[in-house]
């Protein structure tokens, strides 16, 4: 799938200069941060919880491990990992957007999750962590917002320990035509209206629908992971492929 010319990229269906995209994505997440969690539940009918649960179960997180929840936003995965890795482990919630990090930090503090979580503002394309550092990296619904996805995947490979695992949870391509039609109707006609009603922000939810359509499909993303150097790369479709969980190892 084309990512535009060298200097251009996609922001939803718009072609923009590559160096403008990060600011435009930042605008979306500054705008939705306060209502992000409630909108996730409303828009996905709560199904995002099931997708995230499957991701956690697939991670193999154990006490003492170091986990990076990249583009972790409001910290749903971080909260679960914090319990699994325990006092001897460490979870790093990294996100480029300080509004999302702030909501995440307050939510986790309110849940009493403090000891083994740290918060880092970082761009996935150039992670500020040492080589071979994490046992597990997750990026949930984050990769499609990143301008240079290949650079981000390479950066994740660098900071993973040998034997470490990357899990990419992301919207993908439904397998069946009927599902695709229903999904298109829902995301282009209904979702922006719900966004307008609840957050007074139809544009951010139109971007959501468009960015999902522009994201590499299952096989393309698998190829990108292999190309970056991940091994044993595979994926599991969920909800007919509306969402896929890609998994790969560094050896």
Ligand X SMILES: C[S@@+](CC[C@H](N)C(=O)[O-])C[C@H]1O[C@@H](n2cnc3c(N)ncnc32)[C@H](O)[C@@H]1O
CB 237 within 8 A of CB 221: no
Which residue shows structure tokens 């972790």? 72
Residue with Cβ nearer ligand X (128 or 163): 128
CB of 178 to ligand X, least distance (A): 26
21/180 Cα distance (integer angstroms): 27
Residue with Cβ nearer ligand X (100 or 117): 100
3/88 Cα distance (integer angstroms): 41
CB of 127 to ligand X, least distance (A): 9
Closest by CA to 137, choosing from 113, 115, 112, 154, is 154
CB of 251 to ligand X, least distance (A): 25
Residue with Cβ nearer ligand X (73 or 174): 73
CB-closest chain residue to ligand X: 73
Residue with Cβ nearer ligand X (232 or 245): 245
3-state secondary structure of 133: coil
Partner residues linked to 59 by β-bridges: none
Residue with Cβ nearer ligand X (59 or 74): 74
CB of 203 to ligand X, least distance (A): 15
Burial class (CB in 10 A: 0-12, 13-18, 19+), 70: buried
CB of 60 to ligand X, least distance (A): 19
Residue with Cβ nearer ligand X (31 or 123): 123
CB of 141 to ligand X, least distance (A): 4
CB 96 within 8 A of CB 22: yes
DSSP 176-219: SHHHHHHHHHIIIIIHHHHHHHHHS-HHHHHHHHHHHHHS--HH
| Interacting residue ranges for ligand X, rule: CB under 6 A | 25, 29, 71-74, 76, 95-97, 100, 123-125, 140-142, 145-146
């Amino acid at each position: 799938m084309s990512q535009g010319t060298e200097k251009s990229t996609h922001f939803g269906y718009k072609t923009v200069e590559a160096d403008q995209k990060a600011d435009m994505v930042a605008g979306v997440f500054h705008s939705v941060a306060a209502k992000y969690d409630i909108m996730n539940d409303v828009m996905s009918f709560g199904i995002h919880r099931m997708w995230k649960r499957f991701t956690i179960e697939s991670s193999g997180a154990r006490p003492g491990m170091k986990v990076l929840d990249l583009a972790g936003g409001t910290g749903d995965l971080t909260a679960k990992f914090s319990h699994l890795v325990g006092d001897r482990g460490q979870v790093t919630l990294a996100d480029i957007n300080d509004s999302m990090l702030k909501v995440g930090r307050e939510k986790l503090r309110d849940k009493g999750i403090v000891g083994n979580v740290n918060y880092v503002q970082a761009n996935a394309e150039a992670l500020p962590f040492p080589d071979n550092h994490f046992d597990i990296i997750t990026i949930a619904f984050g990769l499609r917002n990143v301008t240079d996805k290949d650079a981000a995947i390479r950066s994740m490979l660098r900071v993973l320990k040998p034997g470490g695992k990357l899990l990419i949870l992301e919207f993908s391509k439904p397998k069946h035509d009927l599902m695709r039609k229903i999904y298109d109707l829902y995301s282009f006609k209904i979702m922006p209206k719900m966004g307008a009603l609840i957050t007074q922000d139809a544009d951010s939810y139109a971007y959501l629908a468009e960015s999902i359509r522009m994201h590499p499909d299952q096989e393309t993303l698998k190829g990108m992971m292999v190309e970056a150097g991940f091994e044993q790369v595979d994926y599991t479709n969920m909800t007919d492929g509306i969402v896929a969980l890609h998994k790969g190892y560094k050896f």
